[in-house]
Structures are given as C-alpha cells and as structure tokens.
Amino acid sequence: MVGALMAGAALPACANAPARAPLPPLRPERMADGTVVARAQSLIDAAGISGRVGYAVADARTGRLLEAAEPNLALPPASVVKALTALYALEAPGRGHRFVTRLVATGPVSGGQVAGDLVLVGGGDPTLDTDDLADLAQALRARGITGITGRFIVNGAALPRIARIDPDQPDHVGYNPAVSGLNLNHNRVQFRWQRSGGGHAAAMDAPATRNTVRVSMAQMQVVARQGPLFTHRDTGAGDAWTVAGPALGNSGTRWLPTRHPELYAGDVLRALARDRGVTLPAPVVANGAPPAGTVVAQHASAPLEEVARDMLRWSNNLTAEAVGLSAVQARGLRPGGLPQSGAQMAGWAQARLGVAGMRLVDHSGLGEASRISPAQMVAALCAPGVAGQLRDVLRDMPLRDANGREIPGNPLQIRAKTGTLNFVSGLAGYIQPPGGPELAFAIFSADLDARRRIPTAQREAPVGARAWSTRARGLQQALLARWGTLHG
C-alpha cells in the first residue's frame, strides 16, 4: 500500500487509508476545552533516553494516521514481534489447534512388555511440562505396560532442531534455549544449590506443580573461582555446567537452558515411569520420521488461542519460536532454521497484511537483527481483520504513572505487547479512549551504539540498561496518556 508522506519518506498506510495523505499538523498544547496536553517532542525530550525514538498512531478502523515521529525508522522490535507471530499462527494452524505428544509402541504388548521400541514423539508442543510427562507415564502403567524389549526412542522431528534461538546470547541465560519438536519445561533445567559445610551441594531438577524429577543428563559442578559465573560444555549426551561458588549465597535456584531437549524429555519420562513401575532403558535420539506403531498414550496441549495468549502475557521465547515454526509448516513450508522461518513470516506479512520491508530473523524478537518500523507495525495492526483476531489475545495493560504505579480509575483501555532487549524497548497494540475511536499504535526506541558496546561478560545485565529501559517505558506511558486525552 502507498501511505502518507513523512519528511519525504513513504509511510505504509493502514487498511482503507487514502492513497496519499499529509500528516496532520501538531496539536496545540491547549485543547478547546482548556485541557493542556504536552507536545510529543517535549515528552521525548523529558524522557532523556539516548538513541532514537519512532512512533506512529492511527485510527484503527479507517487507518487514518493521527500522529507520528520518525515513523519509517526501522529498529529491533524485540518481543513486540510476538504479536505478529500470534496472528500468523491463529490463522494457520488455527485457534483450535492442539499440539499432541504421543507414546508409540512399535510392537505388540505381551505380558506387560512392549515387544519392540517405545517412541516419545514430540508434536512441537512448547507448553509440555513434567506433570504432562507424569500423566503419560501413568497412562503407560494403566495399560499394563511395565517394560520394553527394544529401545526407548525420543523424537523431535516435528520441528527443525535449533541449538539456541540467538547465537549472540550468553550460554547460561534461560530465555535462549534450544528449540525442537520435543520440548519440556520451555527447555530449561532448574539449578538448585544449598550451602553444605564449606561449599555448596548442587542439583539439576525438572520441577512442575505436582512432580519434580532429578535430571541426570544435565550436570553442575561448583568451582572455586571468581569468574566467569557459568561455563557450559556440550558433552554430546547432555549439558555439563560449572558455576563460580563464591557467587552463590546460602541457597537458591536458577533456570538454565538445555541444548538437548529430546534427551531432557526422555530422561525425565524415564524417571517418572520408573516411579510408576515401568522400566525403560536410557533414551536414544532418533530425529528422522517417527516409526509406525500403536499410540499407547498421548497428551494434547491447550488450544493454540490459549497458548498464544499466554505467550503474549509471559513473553516466552521458546513458545514463540515453536508456534512460529509450526505456523510456517502449516503453510506447507519447511524452514531450515529461524532466519529462514522469520523471512517466511515477513513474506506472509507482505502478502496478507500489505506490509512490505519487515526483516525478521526469528519469531520471538530475541535476535537483534530483526527490523520493523512504527509505520509498518501500525499498518499491520490496521490491516483488515487483524484487530478482531489479536485484540482478545493481547494483554490488558493499565496506564501507569511516572513511578510505574497503576493509575486508578483511568478510563483508557490498552491492549498491547511490550518488547525489551538491552537498550531496546518497544510497545504496540490498541488504545480505546473513552468516547473516541480505537487507535492502533507502535513506539520503538533503541540505542544501538550503546548495545554494541556491551562487553560479552555483561550481556545479561549491562550497566545502564535497566535505567534506560525504565525511562523508555515512562515515555511510552506518557505518549499513551497524550493520545488518550487528544482522541477521547
């Protein structure tokens, strides 16, 4: 689509927008009823964030642009992109789709023994947890199965095998796990420690609400050193970690990623089955086409609509990648990795939403190389049918004051998705002012120079990033309050 012009640059239009429309003049600081509203630029100046800021706000129904600053500035969207991932998946495989994990026996059951292999076949479920595997183990026992004569195979071929979402992140951050067609506990293992004598006792667990299992495929060694905090080694059969002992307090827990999700799931199911009287050998990974056989137990996830809603609420990266990859495959494509899959979603955005030029390297926004402009994001939000699909899965976000406290009784209804990386902040969604039209908006801020200067050792929590993000979020709230006042 061809949109309004902003400082000579083409601004993609929303659905039903005129072919060309000049930006409206800046609103006066004093409205007709005497209400004084701060100008947008004064809010940006007062925020004092380094780097650049771009935003756009439009009438969500007509697509008419109401206000913008640097609307064509393409910046990393961070987790804001998960809103597009949700829309992408809600259309295919669809709101009612369920991810199914199956236990398949390749031979008959005789005398409690499977005469053949038992295969744990992942269906791409990003929400599978230890309790779900416990239910599968119990279902095995309920069928009278107590063992197998063949192998215990774990299969994650339902989705491409990806070692880590973003290769530029530190090894130990739990938000950057592996991705597979067989996932468990968001592919994170819980490291637990307790001071013991002159050192610490360490354990690696797979906890859920009803069940907790000690994990054997991930090992932790506490080492007397000042740094680095963690080291990781892929043994080929699991994850070998070390941690700097002086950095540990008396006790605590921390989630660490696994690079072997299939073995992790197999390890946990084997332990759960043993507790229920079912003996299984050590799991073996076989990620080709799963063998034929009889389904002896299965678990189905919640409907995709619910999965997407939780993904947007908690902003889980593993869920976004599994959902996005599944959506690509539902369209008959088979990406080789996340950059290819992200590019295919960007192609869908052009064909379905009329928004060209997005660069997407994944479905979660964790990769810094993705680029979306405020104009592109608003155009996507205004495209036909989008608000009806997204509005009920986006998170309800009350307006907050400069101290981050919810403003009681504020009449603005805001449903949106946040996005945060170090020195990157975004917010996009819909505003319903009282008595006014629903608005679609996008605000992106980033200091990419500051981000590039972060030393590798500080990438988890670099100096200054938290204060920068706080100021960026404050600017977002101030702009939302301005638009709600102007257009209410």
The CATH number assigned to the domain holding 347 equals 3.40.710.10
**φ and ψ of 289, to 5 deg:** -60, 130
**Domain ranges, residue 16:** 5-94+305-487
Residue 284, domain CATH: 3.50.80.20
Same domain, 261 and 348: no
Q: Are 98 and 301 in contact (CB under 8 A)?
A: yes
> What is the Cα–Cα distance from 42 to 479, expressed in whole angstroms?
10
Domain end position, chosen among 250, 270, 300: 300
Residue 19: which pLDDT band, with cuts at 50, 70 and 90? very low
Domain end position, chosen among 248, 267, 300: 300
Same domain, 454 and 473: yes
Q: What pLDDT digit, counting tens, does each position of 353-368 carry? A: 999 999 999 999 999 9
The 10 Å Cβ neighbour count of residue 442 is 30
Same domain, 310 and 433: yes
Q: Are 257 and 172 in contact (CB under 8 A)?
A: yes
Domain end position, chosen among 265, 300, 335: 300
Question: Could you tell me the two tokens for 430?
Answer: 């819909």
Residue 32: which pLDDT band, with cuts at 50, 70 and 90? low
Residue type, 118: L
Same domain, 160 and 229: yes
Residue 85 has pLDDT above 60, yes or no: yes
> What is the Cα–Cα distance from 136 to 266, expressed in whole angstroms?
12
Same domain, 415 and 482: yes
3-state secondary structure of 421: strand
Same domain, 75 and 207: no
Residue 200 has pLDDT above 70, yes or no: yes
Same domain, 341 and 315: yes
Same domain, 329 and 383: yes
Same domain, 245 and 274: yes
Per-residue pLDDT at 397: 95
Same domain, 108 and 217: yes
Same domain, 332 and 446: yes
Per-residue pLDDT at 8: 27
Q: What pLDDT digit, counting tens, does each position of 106-162 carry? A: 999 999 999 999 999 999 999 999 999 999 999 999 999 999 999 999 999 999 999
Please count the structural domains in the chain: 2
In this prediction, residues 53-78 reach a mean pLDDT of 97
> What is the Cα–Cα distance from 169 to 173, expressed in whole angstroms?
7
Q: Are 48 and 352 in contact (CB under 8 A)?
A: no
Same domain, 179 and 312: no
> What is the Cα–Cα distance from 182 to 261, expressed in whole angstroms?
7
Per-residue pLDDT at 144: 97
